[in-house]
Structure 1
Amino acid sequence: MGLDPSILAGFGTSEHDVQSFTESNAGLAGIDTSRLSKFLLVQLTSAWKRRTLNTFAITDVIQHLEGRGPNRSNTAKPRQFNGESLRGLWKVHFFDPRFLTRNIYNEWSVFSPRSDKFEKLCEHVVAEETENPSSGGWQGRLAHEFVVEGYKRRAAKQRLTGEWLIFGVHEQKNVYLALCAHSDGPEQDAEIYSALLNLCGDEFPDIFATIAGGE
């Protein structure tokens, strides 16, 4: 594959693992894997081998972006980066069950001091429980509204969030680079650019010739 053996070791994979995943995984059926970076294939192989992520959560997104299937993830549409370091690249969210708590908190703005959404939810539960008592009590009703209805509301608005799949576009074709956690600002954007350049720059020089961080 041409990847640094230390990267393979760090992800607990081998070149044989990556080859097996790439050739046999149903999520990549019909996909031109030459437009997936070697590093991304290592990330996917590691997630599959170690069961840290459902790889279909990512391959379904790729299938959709390639026009081969619907958006099953109910995540937001792809967007270009705005920051200077990554301008010219694109990001799209993928969703995995381990991101469930984050999405529920986001739906009810739990950590926003300016929002009263959670307070209004509690008031609604109290009113409903007073008018029509449930067998599970207010605790059960609140848990259901907070978790189940919160998730359903978020999904219906196609605002589920997770982590990023970062990709570029060259000659009207997507080139998929890496999975990445969210950035908190320009400093982390610069770190992401540096990592992507180091890991994927030699493989896809045309992509990096067009993004802001490479100017």
Structure 2
Amino acid sequence: MSISPVKVSWTLEQLAQLKSEVLLEAPYASRVSFGMVIRLTTTGDLMPVLREIDALEGLKPKTTLKDPQPFKYPPLFPFWHAHYFTSRHIMRNVGERWNIARGPSNPDMLAALSDVATRFGHDFDMWPGAVAHRLFVGGITERAEASRLTGDWIVFAKHGGQNYYLDLAQHEEAEGPDKSTALMQKLRAGSAAEFPFLFPD
């Protein structure tokens, strides 16, 4: 049994109403692409993304995430990316704090383990909980206090003094020229019809 595609169409007014409802009547709803709205309805990331966009828009205080940055190289330059954080990003942040994936030498982790050894000495029953707390909770807390939490990306463009929110992406989607080109195609497919001024030929 094959399933035939169904064509769906909306008026501009219906599209604007749908975006406003999904985005909880955010004042910037008209500047969020419909493609991003659809993605937000399927990922479960709506509230963390809206919280970060609220901060970008100056509606809420800055979060403990890394500052937004422009992409450095074409084809993604001059677009920007801002991080948003969910529970699935916790382990990545712990790994980043202790430099787990970047080589065998890790003086910060050795210092943290040495601190546990000094504090608990020969009370080995205390070590597992103390090590877990120091590395896990301490790692997240330290990154948050330094405004260094990382997560996935909100990709946006600046135009006419306003931000236009195009889509969500993962870090890996911008690694190298081939992936960057594929990400740009994804952004164009989901946003160019609404915001053609952001995608000059």
Answer whether TM exceeds 0.5 for this pair. Answer: yes
**Residues 35, 174 of structure 1: 8 Å contact kept:** yes
Q: CA deviation at 1:65?
A: 1.3
In 1, Cα distance between the equivalents of 2:35 and 2:79?
17
Q: Gaps spanning 5+ residues in structure 2: where?
A: 9-14
Whether 1:175 and 2:171 are equivalent positions in the alignment is no
Q: CA deviation at 1:79?
A: 0.6
In 1, Cα distance between the equivalents of 2:72 and 2:144?
25
Q: CA deviation at 1:187?
A: 2.2
Whether 1:90 and 2:80 are equivalent positions in the alignment is yes
In 2, Cα distance between the equivalents of 1:127 and 1:44?
47
2:153 — aligned with what?
A: 164
Q: CA deviation at 1:19?
A: 8.0
Question: What is the TM-score when the length of structure 1 is the normalising length?
Answer: 0.78
1:15 — aligned with what?
A: none
Q: Which amino acid aligns with 2:118?
A: A
How many residues end up aligned between the 2 structures?
187
Identity among equivalent pairs (%): 27
**Residues 28, 59 of structure 1: 8 Å contact kept:** no
In 1, Cα distance between the equivalents of 2:112 and 2:194?
50
Find the partner of 2:31 among 13, 25, 35: 35
In 1, Cα distance between the equivalents of 2:193 and 2:136?
45
**Residues 93, 164 of structure 1: 8 Å contact kept:** yes
Q: Gaps spanning 5+ residues in structure 1: where?
A: 9-17
In 2, Cα distance between the equivalents of 1:28 and 1:60?
12
Compared with structure 1, are the counterparts of its residues 39 and 70 closer, same or farther at alpha carbon in structure 2 (3 Å cutoff)? same
**Residues 89, 168 of structure 1: 8 Å contact kept:** yes
In 2, Cα distance between the equivalents of 1:188 and 1:150?
30
- For 1:118-149, what per-residue CA distance to the aligned partner results, in whole angstroms no more than 9, with x for missing partners? 22222221122118x58x51111000001111
2:59 — aligned with what?
A: 68
Compared with structure 1, are the counterparts of its residues 154 and 21 closer, same or farther at alpha carbon in structure 2 (3 Å cutoff)? farther
1:78 — aligned with what?
A: 68
2:134 — aligned with what?
A: 145
Compared with structure 1, are the counterparts of its residues 30 and 23 closer, same or farther at alpha carbon in structure 2 (3 Å cutoff)? closer
**Residues 21, 45 of structure 1: 8 Å contact kept:** no
